[in-house]
A and B are shown apart, each in its own frame.
Chain A
Amino acid sequence: GDSVTQMEGPVTLSEEAFLTINCTYTATGYPSLFWYVQYPGEGLQLLLKATKADDKGSNKGFEATYRKETTSFHLEKGSVQVSDSAVYFCALINQAGTALIFGKGTTLSVSS
């Protein structure tokens, strides 16, 4: 079945460091891909998305490119801030369109 694998955390960085969180997927066809972010004590917010191969999603300085050949959707940011500390989830829509399939989440902690 469909699945998402993302790097285990926690990831600990200093402010202004470069961030990469790896995400790969297994799915039938070419699903839409998403990154969601969960700040402490809050719900899930959509960070960015890509709906087809080679699409690049971007928001708030974060970027991810839909790579069909490597079945990947890695999240990157050039310079992280303390306010980026959160849990990041990579996800895809299953083929039936009935559910988001999530990775296990990666906790990011940024210190000043």
Chain B
Amino acid sequence: DTAVSQTPKYLVTQMGNDKSIKCEQNLGHDTMYWYKQDSKKFLKIMFSYNNKELIINETVPNRFSPKSPDKAHLNLHINSLELGDSAVYFCASSTSGHDQQYFGPGTRLTVT
């Protein structure tokens, strides 16, 4: 069974569109995250979320918003897509903030 899954794996879209990436974990974890990996492979936190608190990296544009319908899901919504949003987006989860994180397979977003 896949521990952390993301859909879609690839997403190609045009500038100005709105899109979503879904993330689900079946590990029973309390905390979920979104990371962005740029073209140079650098990984940076975007959001962390548990059922009580959303922590937003202040450098993330407000066009990005996480939505959690339940503890097992943390979806990423992106409005008005820009060329610079092209990247690989990884979802992750952990039992608590200080434990190891389990990563999904990533979603490669290409904005044209």
Q: Is the CB of B41 within 8 A of A44?
A: no
Within 8 A of A (CB), among B64-111: 90, 92, 96-98, 100-106
Q: Which residue of the partner chain, among B41, B45, B57, contacts A100 with CB atoms under 8 Å? A: B45
Q: Within the assembled complex, what's the spacing in Å between the Cα atoms of A109 and B97?
A: 33
Residues of A in contact, count (CB < 8 Å): 23
Q: Is the CB of A43 within 8 A of B106?
A: yes
The prevalent SS among residues of A at the interface is strand
CB of A52 to closest CB in B, whole Å: 12
**Interface size for chain B: under 10, 10 to 19, 20 to 34, or 35 or more residues?**
20 to 34
Q: Which residues of B lie under 8 Å from residue A23 when comparing CB positions?
A: none
Q: Which residues of B lie under 8 Å from residue A96 when comparing CB positions?
A: 55, 97
Within 8 A of B (CB), among A93-112: 93, 96-102, 104-105, 107
Contacts known (A43-B90, A45-B103, A93-B98); A105 close to B48, Cβ less than 8 A: no
Q: Which residue of B lies closest to A49 (CB)?
A: B100
Residues on B facing A (Cβ under 8 Å): 33, 35, 40-45, 48, 55, 57, 90, 92, 96-98, 100-106
Residues on A facing B (Cβ under 8 Å): 32, 34, 36, 38, 42-46, 49, 87, 89, 93, 96-102, 104-105, 107
Extra A-B contacts (18), CB below 8 Å, given A32-B100, A43-B90, A100-B35:
A34-B100, A42-B105, A42-B106, A43-B106, A44-B43, A44-B92, A97-B96, A98-B45, A98-B55, A98-B97, A99-B33, A99-B48, A100-B33, A102-B43, A104-B40, A104-B41, A105-B42, A107-B41
